[in-house]
Structure 1
Amino acid sequence: MTAIRTVELEGHIIDSGTLQQAFGLVMDLGGDFEVEEFNVGRSKTDTSYCRMDVTAETEDDLQEILHELHQIGANLTDAVDAHVERAPADQVVPHGFYSTTNHPTKVRYEGEWVEVDDIEMDCAIVIKETEDGTRAYTKVLNAIEKGDLVVTDEAGIHVDPPERPRDSSGPFGFMQGGVSSERPSESLIEEVAEAVEETKSQGGKVLVVAGPALIHAGAGDDLARLVREGYVDMISAGNGFATHDIERGLYGTSLGMDMETMEHPRKGHKHHIYTISEVIRAGGIAEAVEEGLIQSGIMYECVQNDVPYVLAGSIRDDGPLPDTITDAVEAQGAIREQAHKADMVLMLSTLLHSVAVGNCLPSTTKVVCVDINPATVTQLLDRGSSQAIGMVTDIGTFVPTLADKVLGENTATDGGEDDADGNRDTGSHRGDGHGDGGSPGGHCPGR
């Protein structure tokens, strides 16, 4: 017996290729479709609309097709409530639970459409009645509790992917190009700088996801400048990033290499483990700053300026630093908390952390991923972070150029005054709430 359901797509579905992708998905999965209504936008800014019947040989086959169509924003036309079931046990979801996309999502429950909070991909949706009304929100599987009301099937769910009009206007602007090493880096970095400044001027938060290659490439001082001047609100990294940043301040090396001469000094290969030992002796990064052990660098500026950071550990970490979260599930939770607060994310030369943070981001968050290896950016896009723009370039060139473009005009023309220590007071773009989420290292008294 043939199974049939009606779906609709609306928006810039032609310019973005969504319509062609939907047709392809149906055919690739052995289904068929018949277009009932198709209205084409007549200008660059006009949207298009398509309603079509999707058929398959069995209900199970149809559900598989509908699930894939949902991932790209095709929604069922039926005005029905979402199907819900109670979780039978902790960390156990009902069969056929709805697995989320990272796009803005609504759930129809008891006749009302409810916005899903904290949307991210590959989660379950939980419905909860509160004093203020019905709330829908995402939960990762290991956070599911027995009795949670979990949404199943695609019925009663509306997914709204960000629009990408042909004229590159809208919330993404320049972020239309995917991965490219051919586009002019200078002009693109300037657009990234403008996006950072716009995010901050609107009260948004910028999250930096960074790998140790940033330190090795000599870009640490420039990222520290951005932290100090209030253009970075949160940092997500690993044990190696923080270790080599601190190592550079203590020994002038990064992974044992002298950052000035590019030579390997005697016993330089031991500097990173000496660094970890000294920070452990002090009790943590903030304590090491307070006692004067750490006097410069990115982690120093984070502590001095109340910029929260998450250092997520891995099985290959040396030490690790006391601030490194070694429990993987705990680290995921800390990363997720940061990601949900971010309005723009800069992913700088780190594959694993970029993918981890990318998995937690809604598709409405601006993302810029920079790496010398195109595979890093490609893998991020393949995981579903379609909102990301990728730049294949040297991180040692990108970060200093970005810092110059963001800070150069301000520091040259701000008319600030020198303080008692002879430091230039250029003013800060830091807003309230920079301690949100709390830094593992805590807060140190000012210099």
Structure 2
Amino acid sequence: MTHSRTVELEGHIIDSGMLQQAMGIVMDLDGNFNVEAFDVGVHKEDESYCRMEIYADDAVTLQEIVHELHQIGANLTDPVDAKLVAAPADQVVPKGFYSTTNHPTQVRYEGEWIEVENIEMDCAIVVEPGSASEQNSEGSGDVVEAADGGPRAYTKVLNAIEAGDLVVTDEAGIRVDPPERPRDSSGPFGFMQGGVSSERPSESLIRQVAEALVETKETGGKVLVVAGPALIHAGAADDLARLVREGFVDMISAGNGFATHDIERGLYGTSLGMDMETMEHPRKGHKHHIYTISEVIRAGGIAEAVDEGLVDSGIMYECVQNDVPYVLAGSIRDDGPLPDTITDAVEAQNAIREQAHEADMVLMLSTLLHSVAVGNCLSSTTKVVCVDINPATVTQLLDRGSSQAIGMVTDIGTFVPSLADEVLAEE
């Protein structure tokens, strides 16, 4: 017996490779397809449309194909409501639950398409029913904003699921809308087509990243900086501090090492024991970071150390002085750690997630693990620039599913000072 479902693809599906990718998925998973309708946009601005029926020998294979097609934005044509199943216990999702992408998503509930709030990858979708009087009884198919008392749909990580939560299962009643990169150089990020490169002219790219950052701030957006200790070691701390001081950084996500070496530099002039002026290792310099942690612990925390005058310069100083919130997520290898470091992994994830959901633009600066952690929490509509001297950092971020990220393979010690100069010159 043959099983089938019909899907449709809309947008710039030809030049973006989406149509080819969809056909490849069907064939790679031992399915077949029949194109029922295909309308090709003839101008650069025109969108194309394709409707095709997917066949498979069994229901399990068909479900796997449909799931993979959903990940790239192919949606089922039948306008049925999403299937909701109550979670059987805390932190336990129903079998066959829908695992989200990081693309804008809607679910259909009682004839309405509802936008999924706080979309991010690898989550479940929970629907909260609203009062009948608030809902659209005509089922027009229009996407509606959840009003007070109306139905809501939002993501939850698995460890936040509560018994009785109505969790979306299967792919029916779900629409995914992957954003597309522009086909020309239009838009603030049109220059960043092509993924990762170390060969494009850095000065030109840095200038355009600066323009995008300034535009984000001018339009009321928020900028999140994800930074690693390499930024301090490379001598770029003063320049990031300038950006914080001048209001171009709204949030910082980092680790214990980043904050420690930033403060160490202010107290001892060293970073991880190396003199930042002479590039030499002074006697007992290797102990400076642990001395730094000890002094901050004695003060009661970073803000307290700033208040008492112990810390009077650097990135963390500027964050405290300018009310820029920061999340320091701990790891098993941390020394100390600083009192501000969140050592509970789930608590740290939730703090990072809160920042990520507020961000409109993210700069990821020489930190693999924190970049991937933040990238996992971002919607695909968030602008992301990842900079690292190691191309593996950028490619791993892309491989994890942050398809909207673009990468620059360059020295962070060159990038951040140049970026700060360009941004402040824009004022």
Regarding TM over 0.5, the answer is yes
Does 2:368 match 1:351? Answer: yes
CA distance in structure 2 between the aligned counterparts of 1:107 and 1:159, rounded to whole angstroms = 9
Q: Look up the match of 1:89.
A: 89
CA distance in structure 1 between the aligned counterparts of 2:87 and 2:15, rounded to whole angstroms = 41
CA distance in structure 2 between the aligned counterparts of 1:15 and 1:406, rounded to whole angstroms = 34
AA in 2 matched with 1:32: N
CA distance in structure 2 between the aligned counterparts of 1:38 and 1:164, rounded to whole angstroms = 22
CA distance in structure 2 between the aligned counterparts of 1:168 and 1:16, rounded to whole angstroms = 15
Aligned partners of 2:85 and 2:168 also within 8 Å: yes
Q: Flag the 1:375–1:207 CA change in 2: closer, same or farther, 3 A.
A: same
CA distance in structure 2 between the aligned counterparts of 1:314 and 1:300, rounded to whole angstroms = 23
Q: Look up the match of 1:35.
A: 35
Among 328, 335, 341, the alignment partner of 1:324 is: 341
Aligned partners of 1:32 and 1:55 also within 8 Å: yes
Give the drift of 1:175. Answer: 3.1
AA in 1 matched with 2:263: I
Among 394, 397, 400, the alignment partner of 2:417 is: 400
Aligned partners of 1:234 and 1:309 also within 8 Å: yes
Q: Flag the 1:132–1:143 CA change in 2: closer, same or farther, 3 A.
A: same
CA distance in structure 1 between the aligned counterparts of 2:198 and 2:320, rounded to whole angstroms = 35
Q: Look up the match of 1:206.
A: 223
CA distance in structure 2 between the aligned counterparts of 1:388 and 1:317, rounded to whole angstroms = 28
Secondary structure (helix, strand or coil) at the match of 1:317 reads: coil
Aligned partners of 1:107 and 1:116 also within 8 Å: yes
CA distance in structure 1 between the aligned counterparts of 2:199 and 2:56, rounded to whole angstroms = 43
Give the drift of 1:41. Answer: 1.3
Q: Look up the match of 2:141.
A: none
**Greater alpha carbon shift after TM alignment, 30-39 vs 83-92:** 30-39
1:69-95 deviation per Cα after TM superposition (whole angstroms, max 9, x unaligned): 100000000010001100000000000
Runs of at least 5 residues in structure 2 that lack an aligned partner in the other structure: 131-147
Give the drift of 1:406. Answer: 0.3
Q: What percentage of residue pairs aligned between the two structures are identical?
A: 85
AA in 1 matched with 2:22: A
Q: Look up the match of 1:23.
A: 23
Q: Look up the match of 2:48.
A: 48
Give the drift of 1:409. Answer: 4.6
Give the drift of 1:47. Answer: 1.0
Secondary structure (helix, strand or coil) at the match of 1:92 reads: coil
TM-score w.r.t. structure 2 length?
Answer: 0.95
AA in 2 matched with 1:80: V
Aligned partners of 2:255 and 2:328 also within 8 Å: yes
Runs of at least 5 residues in structure 1 that lack an aligned partner in the other structure: 411-447
1:382-416 deviation per Cα after TM superposition (whole angstroms, max 9, x unaligned): 01100011000000000000000001353xxxxxx
Give the drift of 1:169. Answer: 3.0
Q: Look up the match of 1:304.
A: 321
Secondary structure (helix, strand or coil) at the match of 2:151 reads: strand
1:187-245 deviation per Cα after TM superposition (whole angstroms, max 9, x unaligned): 00111000000000000000000000000000000000000000000000000000000
CA distance in structure 1 between the aligned counterparts of 2:208 and 2:15, rounded to whole angstroms = 22
Among 239, 259, 277, the alignment partner of 2:256 is: 239
Aligned partners of 1:15 and 1:165 also within 8 Å: no
Secondary structure (helix, strand or coil) at the match of 1:260 reads: coil
Q: Flag the 1:168–1:29 CA change in 2: closer, same or farther, 3 A.
A: farther
Aligned partners of 1:205 and 1:342 also within 8 Å: yes
Secondary structure (helix, strand or coil) at the match of 1:137 reads: strand
Q: Look up the match of 1:124.
A: 124
Q: Look up the match of 1:377.
A: 394
1:102-133 deviation per Cα after TM superposition (whole angstroms, max 9, x unaligned): 00000000111000000000000000134520
Secondary structure (helix, strand or coil) at the match of 1:360 reads: coil
CA distance in structure 1 between the aligned counterparts of 2:188 and 2:201, rounded to whole angstroms = 22
**Greater alpha carbon shift after TM alignment, 4-13 vs 163-172:** 163-172
Aligned partners of 2:84 and 2:166 also within 8 Å: yes
AA in 2 matched with 1:320: P
Secondary structure (helix, strand or coil) at the match of 1:133 reads: coil
Q: Look up the match of 2:245.
A: 228
Secondary structure (helix, strand or coil) at the match of 1:384 reads: coil
Among 241, 259, 262, the alignment partner of 2:279 is: 262
AA in 2 matched with 1:56: A
Q: Aligned ranges for residues 45-444 of structure 1 at < 5 Å?
A: 45-130=45-130, 131-170=148-187, 172-410=189-427
Give the drift of 1:39. Answer: 1.1
CA distance in structure 2 between the aligned counterparts of 1:317 and 1:6, rounded to whole angstroms = 52
Aligned partners of 1:164 and 1:170 also within 8 Å: no
Aligned partners of 2:189 and 2:212 also within 8 Å: no
Aligned partners of 2:81 and 2:110 also within 8 Å: yes
Aligned partners of 2:188 and 2:212 also within 8 Å: no
Q: Flag the 1:172–1:75 CA change in 2: closer, same or farther, 3 A.
A: farther
Give the drift of 1:40. Answer: 1.2
Give the drift of 1:170. Answer: 4.8
Give the drift of 1:164. Answer: 2.3
